[in-house]
Structure 1
Amino acid sequence: MAGAIGRPRDEERKKRLRIAFCHPDLGIGGAERLVVDAALELSRQGHDVHLFTAHHDPNRCFEETVDGSFPVTVYGDFLPRHVFHHLHALCAYIRCMYVALCMVLFWPRFDVIFADQVSAVIPVLKLKTSSKILFYCHFPDLLLAQHTTRLRKLYRAPLNWIEETTTGMADCVLVNSEFTALTFGTTFKQLHARGLNPTVLYPAVDIYQFHSHAQQVSPNIEVMSAIGLPSNGCFFLSINRFERKKNIGLAISAFASLLRKQENVSKGMSIPGQDVRLVIAGGYDQRLTENWEYLQELKSLALQQGVGDQVVFVPSCSTLQRNTLLAACLCVIYTPMNEHFGIVPLEAMAAEKPVVACNSGGPKESVKHAGTGFLCEPTPESFASAMMLLLHDPRKAEMMGKFARQHVEENFSRKVFGAQLNTIIYDLLKPAANFAT
């Protein structure tokens, strides 16, 4: 189960393992990014890696899943995702269990099978008695599901029982943060009572896709112009999916509070208030009702706060736009409360930008307060005060950004992530010492 991460013996490092991944939907979310990173790094460690999933759209996926870095096999895409827009969780369980069954029936043994999100596959995968099962718990699903009505509670009750019971059947359980580990213990009380304490394996970021200050790369002027920003302007950046749980309204309210604060300071500022912008960018799918509704709510809030002309929205933000914005912004504003971990702060720090985030959840573990950014109370005034410090002292923002880049390189790079995962896998196999030939 959980335990300290040791170092594999030299002879173990040379063993070439067969490692399979069982993942529900290989799209472009945070969970998918972690799985792809894990597959890439284990492959680079010399292992034979194969990823199995119920859905993989070559037009909407991470590039590494189609460029031959490792094989991807799809089973069960014909199975429904929902029944008249209901029973999504049950359908996900069925689809994933079908994938797991195909892995058991049609493929030779694996040394380790890495599963995530849907723990119901574990009993099926355990039919391969020679395989060790590693389960990555991004966050307890039962806490993400709605239990608002009696009918929903009845529907979720057996699924919640299945989640806890099957999670406890894994040979090793990993989580993405100390915050999630604590939540795991208070949610799965029976597992905690049995002494199952998950091991923390932080997600990683590809630091090389973000230019450091030393590389002296200027922002893409054409991209900035298309977004509606002057190349020499000053702006704060918020990156999140357009979902209410991301609490993006806090960024708008904090920005409005910042501008009001500026009216009370000396007029001899080097950066006039009217030249400052807030850019709100992120994932957006117009097919999703919440995405569309929330974007309209945020636009209305900006108008109500009197900053409608100074807030720029970039929905469906492309990778090029994101990287350009990160290269040019003053800092990144990260507003979710009790976020399980949060990959955006890592991306910001990898791009040498300080982060202003809520003093809760994963950011407490990734952001060093007053070192790589500021951890604030989730109020406009608290965020605005931190933003003001950086706005009035760009040199401070630059120095914090350099420290942030170093911090990510040392603690959250893919190389560090891969080495830690590799060690966990070798430790998992030690009792059996059963390696594929």
Structure 2
Amino acid sequence: MLGIDANSFIIISAAFGLLCAFLFFSIRVGFPKTITGLAQWGWGCLLMVVGAVGFTTRDHLPVLFSSYLPNLLIPAGVIFMHYSLGLFGKLASSGRLLVALLCVASLALAWVTFVVDDYRGRVIVVSSLLTVLFAACGRRIYCYRVKRFPEWFTCAIYAATACVMATRCISVLLYDGTLTLQNDTSAIHDIYFTSFPFSLVAMSLGFLMMANRELQSRLEAQALHDPMSGAYRRDALLEMIQREIAASRRHRKPLSILMMDLDNFKAINDTLGHLVGDQVIVDFAAQATRLLRTQDVIGRFGGEEFVVMLPHTGLDAALATAERIRSRIAEADGTADLPLYTVSIGVACLDRADADTLSLLDAADKALYAAKRSGKNRVVAA
């Protein structure tokens, strides 16, 4: 094999796999528990390491431990990777089919190992099984709802590895003659043998990038969103409004702001407690968000006060949206955990060339207090 001692190469490959396993077992401790699949990936790498080391014992241990079990441990490791990818992507489990396939392959492998001792048959069984498993892992990533560079990179590595496995299987099927371990010196065998450890490292690198990107996204979301209500934080909202004002002027599109304040919220806190008050905040944010469009943005401005930014929305449409929110809250049925409450809303529209974020919010705020003075539970336009 390219002048390289096979056992030495296998040991080096196993060392790479062991490092990958150690890496994922280690980072699992520092990652949030909601980012799942890291430990399972580590176990997959570890199974492959044990399988690889088993191949080096061919001259010292029975064929059960030096060929049969190693040939099954490698695919079992890939199945763990498939399971890991499913956990990470929050996808429904489909591992039973792959486990069933491994069981069928184990029977076929037992036949060509213990009954007829057919090296060619073993290569066909294992390479065809690995083709299916690597392709299944690639498809698993392809089914992710959001795919960025790390996902596409890892998916491509799985696809390329599946192609190598398939080529190996086809080349052995088409081989004219008796194939043994000693005369199996084709170029595709060398590629098959040497590419596997590099594929394992590349897959692990790709999955690590996926996990790191997910962690980064969650940290960014925590920095931008209010932890209680899920709405944007005040500073993030102000920055978004400022950008949208500039875009609205550039494209000559309308922009409206809703300033919303929960009525008599202090009384709810004083009489029912802060926990109930928190439930009211959470409920209002959820109810209001359901009535907004995808491009609309809701933020918690402070305490019981919320602001909604409505891009490409004129005053009439903004008033209609505000009224939908007000009526939904007013018509809700109270429960033991969630009392009846109402909301007052002030509406302002960007209609002057010199208007900025502060003046727009000030106009909406004045309209809000006009609604409060008029008896609360109503919508008033600036």
**TM-score, normalized by length of structure 2?**
0.28
Q: If you compute each CA radius of gyration, which structure gives the higher value, 1 or 2?
A: 2
The answer to which structure has the higher strand fraction is 1
Q: Say which structure, 1 or 2, has more relative contact order (CA 8 Å, 6+ apart).
A: 1
The structure that is helix-richer by fraction is 2
